[in-house]
A and B are shown apart, each in its own frame.
Chain A
Amino acid sequence: MESDRNHSESVLEVKDLFKSFGSLWAINNLSISIEQGSITGLIGPNGAGKTTLFNVIVGEMKPDKGQIFYRDKQITSLKPFQIARLGLGRTYQLIRIFSQMTVLENLLAAANTNKKAGIDKAIELLAKFDLIRYAHDYASQLSLGQQKVLSILRILMLDADLLLLDELAAGVNEEEQKKLLDFIRQLCEHEAKTAFIIEHDMDVISGYCSKVICLNFGEKIAEGSFEEIKGNKNVVDAYFGT
């Protein structure tokens, strides 16, 4: 019941979610709650349903059953662009920046304001990562790490406050990784953002996530802090087999 939900803390609620592809249940009776200001990690072996969960949350796939609430507003049947405008931003595992558009244009595409305000905001964001000099270069000319930054900056242009980040650290060197994740942490601690991150790198999970959810075969098999999770038999079995 809506009145029972904790209004002040839960940013995202997934209730009894099911998603199948033919006879395969990619998500099987999943319920999750994400708290405001937290960085929550989503882990699990490949094929566990992590990216599928993100796809369903942002409306790119429709669930078979279940509901998704963003700040107590039901978003299950909304279109992706509507969900994005409400404040959910997602990045993709395989970066999907607009490669034949400039860095500045990539940011402007997400802006919902007039051109001048959009450019001002874009420059402000680019400055934080020392990317202003690339503003008029094609996005394809950036390094992988810079492209990852760009994909986050794009959703910040949207004023997204729930950031769904899919394997942000993958393929990026340690220094860039730290800078990226420190930035995410700073956004969550000081700018009222919340992050839900899919990761395979356990150092990242242990270093940044206050809560970790582990999926396997579309089901939640463990939930808790990293310390609680890492010794969990189900989690170990999922990754290494019995």
Chain B
Amino acid sequence: MTENVTEINTSTKISQAAKRVSFAGGLLFFILYVILPFIGSAYLVNLLLIFFIYVAYSEGWNIMSGLTGYVNFGYSIFSGVSGYASAILIIDLGIYWPIAWIAGAVFSIIVALLLGGIMLRLRGSYFAIGMLALLLGVKLLFASKYLAPVTRGGYGFPFIEPVSQTTMYYAAGIVTMFSIFIAYKIITSPFGTRLISIREDEEAAGSLGINATKEKISAFAISAFIGGIAGSIHVAFSNYLEPDTAFSTQWTILPIVMVLLGGQGTVWGPVIGAIILTFIEEIFWSYFPGSYMMIYALVMIFLVIWMPKGIIESLKDKEVLPRTRAI
């Protein structure tokens, strides 16, 4: 029995080493993050700001779709709705921007709770296409004359950010760290285990007393909140708000590709995916300004052929990384 307990402890030791590495890496990055605006160029701050938005957004998507396997092709509904809500609160009602951002994200939660009860009855491809169809509908709705008095319809409205680039950079950094932390907490908790079991076999999970509907809706709502905040920051950063950009194709595909590249259902997968794609995107954009989005397609092809599990899971399979959910 002693021997068996030691073996359990060994695995725990590996998890602890992984935690220490994560902590050390995070600490290093945190220091760099704090001092960057003082030592780096505005371009670099801008790039990192985009990166932060991508990471937070992808982590949000990962919490729902990475864990439960319900691939959300309409994630920009949450970021777009929250972006609009927070912009309207700031511009029309003069609300202080951090409060507006959070209020927008809370509004996304409400949308998720309303939609989730219906959409989460669909499985697999039906859910994916259903969410995509819903997204297109929402985009039309926001562009339509019915909501125009509030949303300014298809014309959109200019949004002068009430904060400086640097302040946004710091705020985005905090949101990103928060999103990674939430992902870590969920993935390593019994809640996360239940979500993953839903992905594995939803019916068998039910036979073990797991209320799949409740778990899915909870994950959906958390995912919507994080996506919402990322969306609010994105809108503030973009300076112009209109349905085509708030609910854009790029903004829909982006988290999917980043998470699949990095490793769905992993804590750091979205971060790895965001690092690689932000980097590649910057390069591609300077050479192919019109068609840089083709990198998403190229990455997907690469993944399907060479690395279907994504980077982190592949590294775990090759035993380069320890097999623990903490990473």
Contact = CB atoms under 8 A, between A and B. Distances in A.
B196 A98 contact: yes
Interface string A124-138: 000100001101100
Interface string B173-214: 000000000000000011001101100110111111111100
B207 A60 contact: yes
Interface in A14-28: none
Nearest to A112: B209
Given A132-B4, A133-B4, A136-B11, A101 B208 contact: no
Interface in B116-139: none
Given A105-B196, A109-B194, A114-B190, A90 B4 contact: no
How extensive is the interface on chain A, given as a class? Answer: 35 or more
Contact of A109 (B193, B203, B323): B193
Most buried by A among B193, B196, B205: B193
Given A98-B196, A101-B196, A109-B197, A81 B210 contact: yes
Contacts of B194: 109
B31 interface: no
Contacts of B210: 81, 109-110
A158 B210 CA distance: 10
Nearest to B195: A109
A132 B207 contact: no
A108 interface: yes
A123 B194 CA distance: 18
A115 B4 contact: no
Most buried by A among B11, B206, B212: B206
Given A111-B190, A123-B8, A96 B204 contact: yes
Interface string B1-26: 10011011001000000000000000
B190 A108 contact: yes
Interface string B206-229: 111111100000000000000000
Given A111-B190, A115-B189, A158-B209, A135 B204 contact: no
Given A114-B190, A115-B189, A118-B190, A109 B208 contact: yes
Given A132-B4, A132-B7, A85 B204 contact: no
A80 B206 contact: yes
A98 B190 contact: no
Nearest to B15: A136
A99 B11 CA distance: 19
B4 A127 contact: yes
A174 B150 CA distance: 73
B208 A110 contact: yes
Nearest to B313: A100
A167 B53 CA distance: 52
Given A132-B4, A132-B8, A90 B209 contact: no
A89 to B, nearest CB: 7
Contacts of A112: 209
A118 B209 CA distance: 14
A114 B189 CA distance: 9
A69 interface: no
Nearest to A91: B207
Given A98-B196, A98-B200, A81 B206 contact: yes
A120 to B, nearest CB: 11
B284 to A, nearest CB: 33
Most buried by B among A96, A98, A108, A133: A98
Contacts of B209: 81, 84-85, 110, 112, 158
Nearest to A137: B323
Nearest to B14: A136
Interface string A76-94: 0001110011000110100
Contacts of B193: 101, 105, 108-109
Most buried by B among A109, A133, A135, A158: A109
A154 interface: yes
A108 B208 CA distance: 10
Contacts of B212: 81
A185 B194 CA distance: 30
A155 interface: yes
Nearest to B205: A109
Given A98-B200, A127-B1, A84 B11 contact: no
14 contacts: A60-B203, A84-B209, A92-B207, A97-B204, A98-B197, A101-B196, A106-B197, A109-B196, A109-B210, A112-B209, A115-B189, A132-B8, A155-B208, A158-B209
Give the top 5 A-B pairs by smallest Cβ distance, nearest first: A98-B200, A84-B209, A96-B204, A132-B4, A110-B208
